[in-house]
Amino acid sequence: MKALADLWRRIRQSRAVMIIGGVLVVIVLAALIGPLVSPHDYLQTNFEQLLQSPTISDWRFFGTDDLGRDLFVRSMLGVQVTILVAVVASIVSLVIGVSYGAIAGYVGGRVDAVMMRFVDTLYALPFIFFVILLMVAFERNFLLIFVAIGAINWLDMARIVRGQTLSLREREFVDAARLTGVSTLGIIRQHIAPNLIGVVIVYVTLTIPQAILVESFLSFLGLGIQEPNTSLGALVDAGVNQMEGAPWTLLIPAALLAAILLSFNFLGDALRDVFDSRSSR
């Protein structure tokens, strides 16, 4: 807990992190609250207001689509899906990646060599195609998509955690703990884990945009979230078909998606500067 409080103090000092974090918080709050306060419903079609351009009046901030559905509510719903995929996929990749990397790094030797060779092998594969294969073979449901996305994004995490554990294991304070009779589990809990939190936070932040990207990619192709539900990828896809007459149907969800991805990538970079003074050159 003390380690966490210490980290939070260091994070708070970085202006870049606070600004980008603020942008993300605003987007998330808008996505959660927007659909509740808007008088429009994400499903309701309105054939008198097809492809209306965005206005301030009547809560039509983002206009309507080709069925007269409100694009503000639908976009915010898409952002909700994005948040959900970010949470589920990052938890899955966190659990697999951290435990895999920590075991390989702490045990070391031949076990480490075999485990990391396996990671190298998986690294080379175009995993997104396997996710698509999974979507073809099984019924498309939310959870399967999200877990599959998390399951393909743990490799970076495993590598980083393994490297960090490997170097921590050799440090004097770990030797000292071992000499005074602290158990392996105790060493991992008290000495290794607190020192991993920094890199883990950075790589979770960098995994999130990758997960979001995969989900929106699948939905764009029509293989992810299905109608009448929607996601930013599905909205971009719909926008492509309407862009000649109604460019906002493409540009608004595209800009939202880009803003979210960009924010997470910049946040990851800024956090890396906070936790690793060497890379801030």
Partner 1 sequence: MLKYALLRLLGAIPTLLLVIALAFLMVHAAPGGPFDDERVLPPETARNLAAAYHLDESLPQQFVRYLKSLLQGDLGPSYHYRDHTVSELIGMAFPVSLRLGALAMLLAVVIGVAAGSFAALRRNSLPDRVVMTLAMTGISIPVFVIAPVLVLLLAVQLQWLPAGWSGNEGVARFVLPVIALALPQVAYIARLMRASMIDVLASDFVRTARAQGLGTMAVVRYHALKPAMLPVLSYMGPAIAAILTGSVVVEEIFGIPGLGQLFVRGALNRDYTLVLGIVIFYAALVVLLNLVVDILYGAIDPRIRQR
**Which residues make up the interface to partner 1 (CB under 8 A)?**
121, 123-126, 128-130, 132-138, 209, 213, 216-217, 220-223, 233, 236-237, 239-240, 243-244, 247, 250-251, 254, 257-258, 261-262, 264-266, 269
To partner 1, the closest distance from the beta carbon of 211 in angstroms equals 13
Burial (CB < 10 A; 0-12, 13-18, 19+), residue 68, is middle
To partner 1, the closest distance from the beta carbon of 209 in angstroms equals 7
Cα distances (angstroms) measured from residue 106 to each of 3, 99, 115, 185 = 21, 10, 12, 11
Provide the residue type at 125 as one letter.
L
To partner 1, the closest distance from the beta carbon of 77 in angstroms equals 18
Q: For residues 151 and 177, which CB has a smaller minimum distance to partner 1 in the complex?
A: 151
Q: For residues 192 and 231, which CB has a smaller minimum distance to partner 1 in the complex?
A: 231
CB atoms within 10 A of CB 45: 14
Q: For residues 7 and 132, which CB has a smaller minimum distance to partner 1 in the complex?
A: 132
Q: For residues 57 and 121, which CB has a smaller minimum distance to partner 1 in the complex?
A: 121
To partner 1, the closest distance from the beta carbon of 261 in angstroms equals 4
Q: Rounding to the nearest 10 degrees, give the CA dihedral for residues 14, 15, 17, 19.
A: 170
* Alpha carbon 213 to its chain's center: 8
Token pair in block for residue 41: 């419903």
Q: For residues 2 and 117, which CB has a smaller minimum distance to partner 1 in the complex?
A: 117
End-to-end CA distance of the chain: 30
To partner 1, the closest distance from the beta carbon of 227 in angstroms equals 14
